[in-house]
Amino acid sequence: MARIVMKFGGTSVADIARIRNVARHVKREVDAGHEVAVVVSAMAGKTNELVGWTREASPMHDAREYDAVVASGEQVTAGLLAITLQNMGVHARSWQGWQIPIKTDNAHGAARILDIDGAFLIKRFGEGQVAVVAGFQGIGPDNRIATLGRGGSDTSAVAIAAAVKADRCDIYTDVDGVYTTDPRIEPKARRLAKISFEEMLEMASLGAKVLQVRSVELAMVHRVRTFVRSSFDDPDAPGMGDLLNPPGTLICDEEEIVEQQVVTGIAYAKDEAQISLRRVGDRPGVAAGIFGPLAEANINVDMIVQNISEDGKFTDMTFTVPSGDVDKALAVLERLKASIGYDVVQSEAGMSKVSVIGIGMRSHAGVAATAFKALADKSINIRAITTSEIKISILIDGPYTELAVRTLHSVYGLDKQ
C-alpha cells in the first residue's frame, strides 16, 4: 500500500465525461489498496471566465473579492468529482483549501503557501476516505480565501504530498510526460523517462508549460517524487497502476538517473523584448539604481549584459523583459534618467529566448560552442547569452525560434533514441 496524491488539470476535468474518466483513474488506485488524495483545477476555461466577470464588474477590484470569485471554479470541480466517485462506490468527500487548512501569506491573487498540517488528510486516509481537495487556494492571515496564482493547483498538490509524506505525486495533464522539446515544433521530440528536479526547474522557468515553476521548487526542496502523466490514457490499460514506474515522466533526484545525457532538453520563450541603455556612467551603485526600481514596478528582468567602454568611464547596459512590460519599463527608466545619467534608451520587441538544459553540462566542455556553431551555420544571429551550471540561454530574433529549437535539438542528438 502506498500514499498517493493525484492532481488533475483543467482540460482533464473540462466536462462531466472527462470527470468520469478522472474518477476511473482515482478508483484504480483506491482498488489497489492505496491511500489517495486528489487535487483538482477548475474546469477548462472557467477561471478565465471568472476573471473576466471580476474585471467587468470593476477594472480596479478588491484583490480579496477577486480571490473569492476565482476560487469558486475549483470548488465546483471538487464537488462534481466527489459526487462521481461516490456514484462509483468510492468513499469520497470534497474539501476546500481553507478546510485543510492550507495556510498562505496575504498576497491575494499570488499567495504563497506557508504551512499545511497533514493531520487532517491523514485522518481521512485512516477512515478510508478519498479527500478531493480544491487546488489553487488556501486561507490567508486575514482569514479570507487566497489564491496561489495561475497554475497554482500544481503547487497545491506538491505541497499536500509533502505534508502527508506521500510516496509520490502524480500530475495528470493533457500531455503524457515531459519531452525533450515542444513536440509541436519538433515532431522528433522524445518523452523523457526521468528528469532531475534541477533540470525540470530550469525547463519550467525557461518556457516549458508542463508544470508551474513553484510546484517544481517545492518538489525539489521536499524531495517529492513527481510523475507527469496523461489523464487521457485508458485508466485500465496495462501498466497504468504500476506503483514504482507508471507511464509518464518521473521528476526525481539526480542520483536516480543512471545514464544522464549531456543535454536533456531545449526550452524556449517567445515575446521577449530587449532594452539597452547607452553610455551609462560606470560607477558603483548604477546597476542597483536601474534594476531596483524595475523590480519595485514588478517588472521581471531576465538576461543582463554589460559592456564597459575602452576608457572605463561608461558602460552599455542591455537586458530583457517580457514584451508586455516594455512600456512600463521605459516609463520607469525615463524617470531615472537624471539620476542614472545615460545618453539614450533603445528597445526592440519580438525577441525569443532559446535555452539548452542538462545537468550533464557540469562535467562536459564544448556544449556552448556546439550551440553557437550550429546556430551560425543556420545564419541565426545571437543577441545575448547567459549561462549557469546546467543551462545556456540565447536571445535571438523571434522569427528564427522554431528553426533554432529544431537545430539545437538535432545537434545534441535529442532526436535519437
**Can you tell me the distance from the alpha carbon of 338 to that of 289, in angstroms, rounded to the nearest whole number?**
11
Q: Which whole number is the average pLDDT over 2-24?
A: 96
Average pLDDT, the chain: 92
For the four alpha carbons of 208, 212, 214 and 217, in that order, the dihedral sign comes to: negative
Q: Give me the pLDDT at residue 51, please.
A: 93
The 3-state DSSP class for residue 320 equals: strand
Tell me if domain 3-255 and domain 265-411 are identical in fold.
Answer: no
Q: Which whole number is the average pLDDT over 368-381?
A: 95
Q: Which whole number is the average pLDDT over 371-389?
A: 93
Q: Which whole number is the average pLDDT over 144-166?
A: 95
Contacting residues for 148 by C-beta, under 8 A, at least 6 apart: 104, 110, 111, 112, 113, 136, 137, 138, 155, 156, 214
Q: Give me the pLDDT at residue 174, please.
A: 87
Q: Which helix (H) or strand (E) holds 326?
A: helix 326-340
For the four alpha carbons of 275, 279, 284 and 285, in that order, the dihedral sign comes to: negative
Q: Give me the pLDDT at residue 151, please.
A: 84
Q: Which helix (H) or strand (E) holds 153?
A: helix 152-163
Strands (E) in 192-330, as ranges, are: 194-196, 226-230, 249-252, 265-281, 304-308, 314-322
Q: What is the CATH number of domain 265-411?
A: 3.30.2130.10
Q: Which whole number is the average pLDDT over 89-117?
A: 95
- pTM: predicted TM-score of the whole model, two decimal places: 0.87
The secondary structure of 69-113 as a DSSP string is: HHTHHHHHHHHHHHHHHHHTT--EEEE-GGGTTEEE-S-TTS--E
pLDDT in tens, 235-290: 988 888 888 788 999 999 988 887 678 899 999 999 899 999 998 887 888 888 99
Q: Give me the pLDDT at residue 271, please.
A: 87
pLDDT of 99 over the 90 cut: yes
Q: Which whole number is the average pLDDT over 377-403?
A: 93
Contacting residues for 296 by C-beta, under 8 A, at least 6 apart: none
Residue labelled with grid coordinates 536571445: 395
Q: Give the distance from CA 217 to its chain's centroid.
A: 9
**Can you tell me the distance from the alpha carbon of 192 to that of 179, in angstroms, rounded to the nearest whole number?**
6
Contact status, residue 164 vs residue 5, Cβ threshold 8 Å: yes
Q: Which of 13-17, 128-132, 151-155 has the lowest mean pLDDT?
A: 151-155
All three cell numbers of 107, joined, read 498576497
Query: Higher model confidence: residue 155 or residue 314?
Result: 155
pLDDT in tens, 322-336: 998 999 999 999 998
CB neighbour burial string for 349-386, b if at least 16 within 10 angstroms, e if fewer: eebbbbbbbbbbbeeeeebeebbeebbeeeebeebbeb
Q: Give the distance from CA 105 to its chain's centroid.
A: 20
> pLDDT band for position 374 (50/70/90)?
very high
Q: Which whole number is the average pLDDT over 359-373?
A: 89
**Can you tell me the distance from the alpha carbon of 328 to that of 318, in angstroms, rounded to the nearest whole number?**
16
Domain coordinates in residue numbering, the chain: 3-255, 265-411
**Can you tell me the distance from the alpha carbon of 360 to that of 313, in angstroms, rounded to the nearest whole number?**
40
Q: Which of 79-83, 313-317, 393-397 has the lowest mean pLDDT?
A: 313-317
pLDDT in tens, 198-243: 999 998 887 777 888 899 999 999 999 999 999 999 998 888 888 8
Contacting residues for 403 by C-beta, under 8 A, at least 6 apart: 378, 380
pLDDT in tens, 19-49: 999 999 999 999 999 999 999 999 999 999 9
Domain formed by 3-255, architecture: 3-Layer(aba) Sandwich (3.40)
pLDDT of 74 over the 70 cut: yes
pLDDT of 309 over the 70 cut: no
**Can you tell me the distance from the alpha carbon of 314 to that of 334, in angstroms, rounded to the nearest whole number?**
19
Q: What angle do CA 15, 18, 22 make, to 5 degrees?
A: 130
> pLDDT band for position 307 (50/70/90)?
confident
